[in-house]
Amino acid sequence: MRAASVQRPASRLFRTSAALSAGQGTHIHRDSAGNSESTPWEWTPESLKKIDMYLARYPDTPQGKMSAIMPLLWVAQQQTDEAHATIKAKPSYDGAFAFDSPQGSGGWVPLAAMHAIADLLGCPRMAVYEVATFFTMYNRNQQGKFHIQLCATTPCMVCGAYDILASIEKHLGIKCGETTADGTFTLTEVECLGACVNAPMVQINDYFFEDLTPQSVVKLLDDLKAGNPVKIGPQNARVHSLGPLGRTSLKSPPKGPYCRDLSQIPAN
């Protein structure tokens, strides 16, 4: 028991954020059936094409090549995304579009892929591990078919992210960091995904679903599971990220003085 006479002028929070502890698990690799050093890994021809493209962007020195660790990890995640084709994404307004190929968020990087990257770039394996564990964007374990990344950073939190979270948890019967028994959904709490204007939001594989309510998110998950078409972007009537009054500013070209003469810049 703390003696009453001791004043504590401030107490500080050092809690590990949920994204790191619950969402990503430990930063140590544990061999599992589908993920060990001996698991085979082959790059697909498309991946190899992408790899060539990325490698061309960096200097051909040992140091320079190491810069390609990040894009290559992402290529691996694109390659392992098997759910993409099953998501029937409907753009919610004109000008929005659905991706025709996996972008990466729906996949994961097996240990063997990390090793393949290290071999390819001629760098220590540890260098790849360090990058892969640093960013929450890289999934180092097999995720459920649909990986729900729920943003709970301040703007989303203020707009009710935890209600969304509770609703998902109740509906799926899992907690942050867990995968449903049938392997369909994985739930992760993450930090700001940059759609704060349309908060609260979740990202599921490559798509953002914004302006959620505890009810609409349940319907969304059911639709995904059933393979029904789902609307991407704002789940309400919002267009882009316009406020309720529609477009209120920047309606005409900005008045001068300009820092450079825009008329001199060719169109496109």
Partner 1 sequence: MLAALQARAAATARPGRVSLQLLHKGARGVRSSDARASSAVQPAQPSQPAAVSAVVQLDEAGFAVLPKELPSMRGVDFKQELDPRYAETIEVIIDGHPVQVQKGSSLIQACEQVGIQVPRFCYHERLSVAGNCRMCLVEIEKAPKPVAACAMPAAPGMKVFTNSPIVKKAREGVMEFLLANHPLDCPICDQGGECDLQDQSLFFGSDRGRTTESRRGVEDKNLGPLVKTVMTRCIHCTRCVRFATEVAGVDELGTVGRGNAMEIGTYVERMLDSEISGNIVDLCPVGALTSKPYAFTARPWELRSVESIDVLDGYGSNIRVDTRGGEVMRILPRLNEDINEEWISDKTRFAYDGLKRQRLDTPLIRPDPEMPLQPATWKDALTLVAQKFKATPGARIGAFAGPLADVESMLALKDLCNAFDSEAIHCDVPAGPLADCRAAYTLGSTIAGVEEADAVLLLSTDLKREAPLLNARLRRRVYHDGVRVASVGPRVPLTYEYEHLGDSVSQLLELANGTHPFCKVLAGAQRPLVLVGTGAYERTDARGVAWAVQKLVTSVPALIQDGWLGFGTVQPTAAAVGALDLGLTPLASSAAAGVGASDGAIAEPLGLVYLLGYDSIDLDRLSPDAFVVYQGHHGDVGAETADVVLPGSAYTEKVGTYANMEGRAQRTARAVSPPGEARDDWKILRAISELAGKPLPYAGVDGIRERLAAVAPQLADGTESIHAVSPDIAKAMLAVRASDKFDFDTKTPFASCIDNFYMTDAISRASTTMASCTKAFAK
- Which residues here bind partner 1, judged by CB under 8 A? 1-3, 5-17, 20-21, 26-29, 37, 111, 124-127, 129-130, 133-134
Chosen from partner 1, ligand FES, none, partner binding at 226 (C-beta under 5 to 8 Å by type): none
CB-nearer residue toward partner 1: 13 or 245 = 13
Shortest Å, Cβ 115 to partner 1: 9
Write out the two tokens for 246: 């529609």
Tell me the residue type at 123: C
- CB 226 → ligand FES: shortest distance, Å? 27
Counted residue by residue, the chain has a size of 268
Query: Cβ contacts of residue 231 below 8 Å, gap of 6+?
Result: 90, 91, 92
From the list ligand FES, partner 1, none, which binds 195 (C-beta under 5 to 8 Å, kind-based)? ligand FES
H or E segment to which residue 78 belongs = helix 69-79
Provide the 10 A C-beta neighbour count for residue 179. Answer: 19
How many angstroms separate the CA atoms of 5 and 204, rounded?
51
Is 156 part of any known ligand binding site?
yes
| Whole-number Cα distances in Å, 193 to 89, 103, 150, 152, 201 | 19, 15, 9, 9, 9
Is 196 known to sit in a ligand binding site?
yes
Pick one of partner 1, ligand FES, none as the site partner of residue 20 (Cβ within 5 to 8 A by kind): partner 1
Q: Rounded to the nearest whole angstrom, what is the least distance from the CB of residue 16 to partner 1 in the complex?
A: 5
- Give the whole-angstrom CA distance, residue 113 versus residue 75: 10
Cα dihedral 132, 169, 99, 182 sign: positive
Q: At what angle do helices 214-226 and 161-172 cross, to 10 degrees?
A: 40
User: Which does residue 193 bind out of partner 1, ligand FES, none, counting CB within 5 to 8 angstroms by kind?
Assistant: ligand FES
- Taking the least distance from each CB to ligand FES, the nearer of 124 and 194 is 194
**Residue 123 marked in a binding site:** no
Task: Find the shortest distance in angstroms from Cβ 89 to ligand FES.
Answer: 19
Residues in contact with 105: Cβ distance below 8 Å, sequence separation at least 6, in sequence order: 77, 81, 137, 147, 149, 203, 205, 206
To partner 1, the closest distance from the beta carbon of 116 in angstroms equals 14
CB atoms within 10 A of CB 158: 11
199: partner contacted, choices partner 1, ligand FES, none (Cβ within 5-8 A by kind):
ligand FES
Residue 49 CB, shortest distance to ligand FES, in Å, is: 32
Nearer to ligand FES, 22 or 193 (CB): 193
Choose the one of partner 1, ligand FES, none that binds residue 232, judging by a C-beta under 5 to 8 angstroms depending on kind: none
Q: Which positions make up the binding site?
A: 151, 156, 192, 196
Q: Which positions make up the binding site for [2Fe-2S] cluster?
A: 151, 156, 192, 196
